[in-house]
Structure 1
């Protein structure tokens, strides 16, 4: 009788443990939630460069893809081509294949969690996968990562099912050679979708091989040899015969294959941060991410406590192998040449299984509490086991990462808006110069532009300036205006290209705007100030810079044209900062402003912080006249300010910060 109260308490606790039926319902609910989250804002962001390349590649002949059109394996692009035929070419349709991969990965994780940890571990694993920021990120991207994670997860599931000899697998007709064939196909699917799935596949092969040897069954050993020889033969023959040139090229261009140790350590922190908090993870969260990662890995102790030593080692091996393959190749000093947290995506499923070990550990403690020998004190403590804290801690990164992911103010690219801006302002005799040939897939998807286009290849940027200027002159012949499109973050961080420098000399920039990873500028070749006489000036700004002259065209302007001036500056001393020049067009009668254009001197090619005392800088500037500008007299007003404080330089030691550099007349069209 003394044990009955303890048994009642423990029985009540165990009643709260999930049944297999409830786990299936929970897994279905998690799949539905993953689908809703993945499709919620699926087309709210435009395609970015890599996605556009995948779309372009999916339109190429299948044999070209198989023959090594891209450094990446071809399967995703082949599947995307089939998806375009099924669902269409909209942004939503192009990303839908990845949605399917992300949602099905939740189902695979639920089944794998059930095989290894039981019902509660199944629901816990499915929940973490459904709300994972990095999984949702790639479920919303038309790239190969979500399908590759699905194929790798499917191979892991069949490997575990084979190791455990699950009767329900045979009941569904996937047994013997059929299960082996499915395992081979999923493994090949993973390898032919992304190389970094090799880590989990290697662990699968070793685990199944050791099990076959321990069984001492000739049939199992032969089956293992046939399956893995088939995988090695098919993938190896393709890679060596058609794809090895990419690897050879990468090795030839690198001093080392394995990244330096400092790269590996730095990448590990960045990768774990992204794996838990998503691709937009804040670097300040890295310590938290590493702590949570360690806690998740420690969760495998829950399987060991239940005697599942093999499962615990298998999960740990999946994690270590996946991260190890990335560490051995990806990094600035490694063969891959770069690193991204996306390479850690294939460790997500085993990491969630490791975290589910905490649930397994709690369930095991509950079962021990049901024994008559359990003391009343122990049982009462078990009544408040930390189910809720474990779930809350596990979901915390998802909440933080998903809030960032679904912040629609963030865009990876706005190439679509850039193309729209050109179309809205295009005029006859316009041309477009696209610097960086990597943008051609984006133009192929969002274009075409109704004007001649010159795509400047990346190799052309390394030529001498004279040849670039000559080619630009040939392209500009007969054109009134040229649109300059600089694509890529690297272009934004580098000094102006030879093309941009040549355009700065040929015309006046009348418009400029940034669109995330692409910048747009319009150069008017008709209204350069030219060789008109220079009007001497002596206007000193902040005791650092003096306007010593200005040159313009004394003629009437019309709406749609541009007021163009040459401003001639002299550095009286080395300027203390980078200043921006503003040029405003205002009505002479009431001072109302109708147009403005701000930019650093020479369109950013000559920042003031690099000026030396006595240096003379000629800065050609233009402010566009709106199409609806009323006729009349207008003042052109200039000045300098420091960005981002907008603190203006004062003129001649006084309080004034603006100077009327010219007065122009605008007439009716």
Structure 2
């Protein structure tokens, strides 16, 4: 017996380690880019509730707090605690929203592992070690669970609370011990304090209480009275102390009791609860288990407790119906998080069915066959699950193109104006620090417009809009609109960023500057770098010039730029500029072929009492280590720019 117990503990430990491992390999997703908007909402809600966050006003946390007034309070409380822990352990002088999301995702990992432990207990009470191992294995490895079990939102904690509500309820039933219904109720209250929607947890707790009352009402009644007081106090605080009825978020406003019995919604939501196991695997194991159960009863062989199965079915129906009041999910989408609290019931039922099949083999003294049957069922699930997990790991190993966009823009762009986007673009939050986790040194503002072609690029630029960003899909749609295509033709395409295809993420991003260079040059240096054009201005005793560069091939060295101000047909500079051709964070060796770099804003102060007249700028590139200059196609080592100095320049 002791060896069996040790083997079971070892098996549980292995399953929990698998749960931990696959979550550690996927939980970062695309951090530091925060790719899930609800994580940003929870971050801002906690910031608003704290009252001591330095950038709360700048981040607009008060607006989020007002919009989510009445939101279930437990997760914001938890998030505040995690924020304080992150600040206490971090060595960084400034933290971004992605840093806080990272901490909460680690908490979600712990919740996921503990939920797998709850599934072990659930399975154990339903069908022994076979049901326990299979149930825990599903929560540990199912890709549908793994993908949505490590986010910085309330849902992973709801899964945990839902799982342990059922685990404690079944344990109380299994041990005929009413005391265990108390932690079941506490977990149920926690689930509702995390999100108001998982009302099925009350049926989990209540069903076990009813069974125990029927068995021994004298032992159970005192616990029920205590739990009634706790439940009423919890409800009273939510309704009258906290003000839960104030909530008007999307889910709250979608609640429609009339949809509870909508068959289409119900079937979609039911399908969602089956997906962690797999619809066909659940149906196959369940169908065989029903046949084996009926045959075993006729032969008086051991069978699972049909009352527990009926109890789980009732909880499942209530859970599906309650979800249907506010949503009909799209399977495999992010809406799966709404049905996963109910999926713990389905997983328990499936494990129960598998244990019934194994029990039939043991009844005919075929313990080896029982083990083979359980192993076969486990293999059928695990094979598909591991393939899905590997695909998930590979998916999250790919960089989010929006993260690459913010790195590029931070290092490459002068903050000369807002970045224009379509209102529903997947790029809309890229430069929004609290929502995307943007950690760049350069701060950008943004603007939205559904039809920018109704204005002109010049007019938009004068209104403070300097750039335009759109995805490949948006670019294709824009080119199908003649007015929009004509608008794009007037812009300067700075970069086309293409990445490995990742589901739900843009494969290609187009980034434009609204205004092209004032003067077109198209001068090619050493077959490597083209001077596309430049902006030129003379004012207050200085010449201001901004070049625009494009690499034709990867530059061979980190070239420097010289600009000499000379009299016509002479080489002796009257004034000069020497420095990086573009941003110091974009040395020439980092330039990508085809990309246009907005160059350094160079200022050349003119000599005092300079006579008015015609002068020249000699602009070129050189290797600062060797002093060797890059030559143009005609052999010249500089591009000549005529400059007229007016008489009123001091």
- 1:592-651: per-residue Cα shift (whole Å, max 9, x none)? 8899xxxxxxxxxxxxxxxxxxxxxxxxxxx765787966469xxxxxxxxxxxxxxxxx
Alignment equivalent of 1:314, drawn from 311, 315, 319? 311
- The equivalent residue for 1:603 is none
- The equivalent residue for 1:201 is 202
Shift of the alpha carbon at 1:557? Answer: 5.2
Measure the CA separation in 2 of the matches of 1:42 and 1:387: 30
- The answer as to whether partners of 1:419 and 1:446 remain within 8 angstroms in 2 is yes
More displaced 10-residue stretch of structure 1: 27-36 or 224-233: 224-233
Indicate how the Cα distance of structure 1 residues 247 and 344 shifts in structure 2: closer, same or farther if over 3 A, else same. closer
Within a 5 Å distance, the mapping from 1:315-464 to structure 2 comes to: 315-331=312-328, 340-365=335-360, 367-369=362-364, 386-408=373-395, 411=398, 413-427=400-414, 429=416, 431-436=418-423, 440=432, 445-448=437-440, 450-456=442-448, 461=450
- The answer as to whether partners of 1:156 and 1:201 remain within 8 angstroms in 2 is no
- The equivalent residue for 2:537 is none
- The equivalent residue for 1:226 is 229
Measure the CA separation in 2 of the matches of 1:108 and 1:321: 20
Alignment equivalent of 2:281, drawn from 283, 286, 292? 292
- The equivalent residue for 2:646 is none
1:250 and 2:254 equivalent? yes
Alignment equivalent of 1:508, drawn from 479, 492, 496? 492
1:101 and 2:111 equivalent? yes
- 1:351-383: per-residue Cα shift (whole Å, max 9, x none)? 23222224432453355335xxxxxxxx59958
Alignment equivalent of 1:158, drawn from 162, 165, 168? 168
TM-score (norm 2): 0.64
Indicate how the Cα distance of structure 1 residues 192 and 62 shifts in structure 2: closer, same or farther if over 3 A, else same. farther
Measure the CA separation in 2 of the matches of 1:155 and 1:323: 17
- The answer as to whether partners of 1:117 and 1:360 remain within 8 angstroms in 2 is yes
1:59 and 2:47 equivalent? yes
Measure the CA separation in 2 of the matches of 1:111 and 1:360: 14
Measure the CA separation in 1 of the matches of 2:417 and 2:311: 62
- 1:437-483: per-residue Cα shift (whole Å, max 9, x none)? 65535656223552541343xxx65xx869x849x87873397x833
Which SS does the other structure have where 1:121 is aligned? helix
Measure the CA separation in 1 of the matches of 2:213 and 2:322: 25
1:667 and 2:644 equivalent? no
- The equivalent residue for 1:522 is 511
Shift of the alpha carbon at 1:105? Answer: 0.8
The unaligned stretches of length 5 or more in structure 2 are: 52-61, 91-98, 535-548, 556-593, 600-620, 623-629, 642-650
Measure the CA separation in 2 of the matches of 1:114 and 1:75: 30
Shift of the alpha carbon at 1:561? Answer: 5.5
- The answer as to whether partners of 1:149 and 1:197 remain within 8 angstroms in 2 is no
- The answer as to whether partners of 1:149 and 1:346 remain within 8 angstroms in 2 is yes
- The answer as to whether partners of 1:259 and 1:329 remain within 8 angstroms in 2 is no
The unaligned stretches of length 5 or more in structure 1 are: 1-14, 168-174, 277-288, 371-378, 530-552, 565-584, 596-622, 635-664
- The answer as to whether partners of 2:70 and 2:243 remain within 8 angstroms in 1 is no
- The equivalent residue for 1:614 is none
Measure the CA separation in 2 of the matches of 1:469 and 1:141: 41
Measure the CA separation in 2 of the matches of 1:220 and 1:330: 36
- The equivalent residue for 2:4 is 19
Measure the CA separation in 2 of the matches of 1:248 and 1:92: 28
Shift of the alpha carbon at 1:127? Answer: 2.5
- The answer as to whether partners of 1:156 and 1:204 remain within 8 angstroms in 2 is yes
More displaced 10-residue stretch of structure 1: 260-269 or 197-206: 260-269
Shift of the alpha carbon at 1:19? Answer: 3.0
Alignment equivalent of 1:48, drawn from 9, 25, 35? 35
Measure the CA separation in 2 of the matches of 1:513 and 1:408: 18
- The equivalent residue for 1:549 is none
- The answer as to whether partners of 2:262 and 2:324 remain within 8 angstroms in 1 is no
Measure the CA separation in 1 of the matches of 2:195 and 2:205: 17
Measure the CA separation in 1 of the matches of 2:550 and 2:492: 19
Measure the CA separation in 1 of the matches of 2:329 and 2:117: 36
Shift of the alpha carbon at 1:260? Answer: 6.0
- The answer as to whether partners of 2:188 and 2:202 remain within 8 angstroms in 1 is yes
Alignment equivalent of 1:484, drawn from 436, 455, 468? 468
TM-score (norm 1): 0.62
- The equivalent residue for 2:542 is none
Alignment equivalent of 1:39, drawn from 21, 24, 28? 24
Shift of the alpha carbon at 1:420? Answer: 0.2
Measure the CA separation in 1 of the matches of 2:367 and 2:413: 76
- The answer as to whether partners of 2:72 and 2:193 remain within 8 angstroms in 1 is yes
Shift of the alpha carbon at 1:73? Answer: 3.3
Measure the CA separation in 1 of the matches of 2:476 and 2:73: 32
Aligned residues: 507
**Alpha-carbon RMSD:** 4.8
